[in-house]
Amino acid sequence: MSPEYIDPIARPDLFLGKREQTKAQNRQRILEAARQVFAELGYGATTVRDIIRATPLASGTFYNYFKSKEEVFQAIQDESALRIRPRLHEERAKAETIEQFITGTFRTFFEYVASDQSNFHAIRRNTDTLRVRMDTPEIIAGFQELREDLEKAIAKGLFPPVDADYLMAAIVGVAFELAERMLRRDIVDTDAAAAFATALFMGGVHALPVLAPIAPPGSGGA
């Protein structure tokens, strides 16, 4: 048998020691169990023990990987943020008009949210009426990046010289709140949500998409 080239990225198990493999596997097991339990019980109601029980591991093992349920939650959040942040940044970097900047941001965000319901729902939907949002380092960095992108766009003359901090906050607020409503609707229409948000930022209330005078129930209304 001649030795063939094997991609170490595709088959890490052949190159990592058994120890490393188990460690990576355990971490994933915990995160996966946590996602399930958070989704089922809500963040507030789940205990570290609930997560452990959803796992074949012993309680002590959990603490080899995470200090608390907060840390698990943060890891889950960071995973999401890490996935979406580059896409958002790229979208905005290549924008040549305000509209492209805004629409690229909202479209990308809403599409991600819709594709990631397991995470996003588990994250924002919580027991009863209690909603939890964790601004992890990665997420804060994402906000910061939006602000910097806005400042760059202002410097380029793309945007008028407005308060970038407040504008960032407004974009974040609309993005999260609209995402919430969007997910609650029967048909999740990311385009409609993105169109709404973009129109608002481009021209205010007067520019928003207009609904049909008497909309039949369930009409998209974009």
Partner DNA sequence: TCCACGAATGACACTGCGTCAACTTTGCCG
Partner DNA sequence: CGGCAAAGTTGACGCAGTGTCATTCGTGGA
Q: Counting contacts by CB under 8 A, is residue 174 touching a second copy?
A: yes
What residue 18 binds from DNA, a second copy, none (CB within 5 to 8 A, per partner kind)?
A: DNA
Q: Which is nearer to a second copy, 29 or 201 (CB)?
A: 201
* 123 neighbors 38 (Cβ within 8 angstroms): yes
Rounded CA-CA distance 159/208 in Å is 20
Binding of DNA by 57 (CB under 7 A)? yes
Q: Applying CB under 8 A, does 41 fall inside the site for a second copy? A: no
Give just the sign of the alpha carbon dihedral 91, 112, 163, 78: negative
Is there binding between residue 161 and a second copy (CB under 8 A)?
yes
The only residue of 6, 58, 155, 215 in contact with DNA, by rule CB under 7 A = 58
The answer to whether residues 158 and 97 touch, using CB atoms and an 8 Å cutoff, is yes
CB atoms within 10 A of CB 54: 18
Question: How many positions of this chain bind a second copy (CB under 8 A)?
Answer: 53
Contacts with DNA, 67-86, as mask; x by CB under 7 A: xxx-----------------
Question: Of these partners, a second copy, DNA, none, which one is at the site of residue 210 (CB under 5 to 8 Å by kind)?
Answer: a second copy
In whole angstroms, give the CA distance from residue 155 to residue 145: 15
Residue 169's closest CA among 150, 196, 195? Answer: 150
Least distance in Å: CB of 94 to a second copy? Answer: 19
| Residue 64 binds to DNA (criterion: CB under 7 A) | yes
Sequence-separated (6 or more) residues with CB below 8 Å from residue 23? none
Return residues touching DNA (CB under 7 A): 17-20, 22-23, 26, 47-50, 56-61, 63-64, 67-69
